[in-house]
Structure 1
């Protein structure tokens, strides 16, 4: 629980202002609703809230994809599409978790199209980060959003973790920092995995969002270690138990070869990045002690449901 700096209301999922650093409820989360001292420094006469992820919000209604303070401008307005204040990028502010999830599932479908039409060599070239071709820099990113073909459990496990935990972390740290955390941890996890494979003489390569998913879980563990998670949607346990369990499995996998076909090094890198980042930001934001879903002031409070982890097959 956290108290709104403006009205004093107790809030289960508070918002952190990126401009003044205060903690606010949903009614006062926008800078203009809590007399944010940063307003006087904005070059935005329309008072449009900018999360910090995109700098295109200027209220000028200029060309391109931008919009005026009241309606969209540029190309989209000419075809009758009103994106509202902030233009096209306004759709993604505060919703990077869902954007990344959408990309993951679109890429999953594209993987199968490529396999059926162009073959496995093209699939590996486009989607798999490999120790034999680390110079294929596009795979540093595409491999994050790719998953083992025909393996529904791999992509479903990662998606569940990102869906339940990613949205919470994004609200804590902001969309821009969440995007950097997701992409940065995913890239470094993949590079760490192929470095181990290169040392072992293993050309298998890696793909999957497990490194980024575990980084998200580790951040949330640092911010709120006692957050209740329903393991496999049934068994309530603190999130730190699951996170430490994954850390132990990753260590055993790298040392003893436990769990063949699982990218333990990528998991370990993701966890380390998440722990480090969580320690860095934990004193700058207010994390609630518990989360409430479903509304109602008197309802039972619980943490988000979730599986035993993000799957992790690469």
Structure 2
């Protein structure tokens, strides 16, 4: 998550993280955001290691972690408007588009860790649903407390 192939790779990852990470952090707070980011990155790397046949292959970049952040944000705000290559769409469709592309390109030799992206997406979805459930429970307790007054 801290090593990148080149400056372009680093720049693109940080650009995506800046927009989607900031949005998720505003919704869940600093510590929860960091949990989503690091757990997604670790699971993405493990997912890649479990599916790659070449054991000497290295995985670099933060794409798996960023996909986890992207997926968690999608669960929390599915109708959020985003731009994918300057095309406006809801974030839920953008996530579906990227997941389908990663799945379709999984067997290719394009030097992209598609299984890491998909693993990060899956753990991000799981964490997003867990966060949504706990936020809903918290809001219900908060509302019931203040309704009494």
Partner of 2:143: none
Q: TM-score, normalised by structure 1?
A: 0.41
Q: Counterparts of 1:220 and 1:242 in 2: how far apart (Å)? A: 12
CA deviations on 1:268-304 (whole Å, 9 max, x unpaired) are: 1100011111111113437xxxxxxxxxxxxxxxxxx
The aligned residue for residue 249 of structure 1 is 101
Stretches (4+) displaced over 4 A: none
Aligned residues: 136
Q: In structure 1, the residue corresponding to 2:82 is in which secondary structure?
A: strand
Q: Match for 1:208 among 50, 61, 84?
A: 61
Contact persistence 2:99–2:118 (CA under 8 A): yes
Kindly state the Cα deviation for residue 202 of structure 1 after the two structures are TM-superposed: 4.4
Q: Which of the residues 107, 111, 134 maps onto 1:261?
A: 111
Paired residue for 1:180, among 22, 35, 42? Answer: 35
Contact 2:40 2:69 in 1 (8 A): no
Bigger relative contact order, structure 1 or 2 (CA pairs below 8 A, ≥6 apart) = 2
The answer on whether the counterparts of 2:64 and 2:121 sit within 8 Å (CA) in structure 1 is: yes
Give the deviation of 1:209 after TM superposition: 0.4
Deviations 1:7-58 (A, max 9, x none): xxxxxxxxxxxxxxxxxxxxxxxxxxxxxxxxxxxxxxxxxxxxxxxxxxxx
Task: Give the distance between the partners of 2:73 and 2:4, measured in 1 at CA.
Answer: 24
Q: Deviations over 1:181-222 (max 9, x none)?
A: 11111111112212222xx13422101100110001101111
CA RMSD of aligned residues (A): 1.6
- Structure (1 or 2) with the larger CA radius of gyration: 1
> Could you state the TM-score of these two structures normalised by the residue count of structure 2?
0.83
Q: CA deviation at 1:259?
A: 5.5
Structure 2 gap ranges (5+):
137-149
Structure 1 residue 146 and structure 2 residue 3: aligned? yes
- Any conservation in 2 of the 1:172–1:285 contact (CA below 8 Å)? no
1:240 to 92, 95, 109: 92
Q: Which has the higher helix share?
A: 2
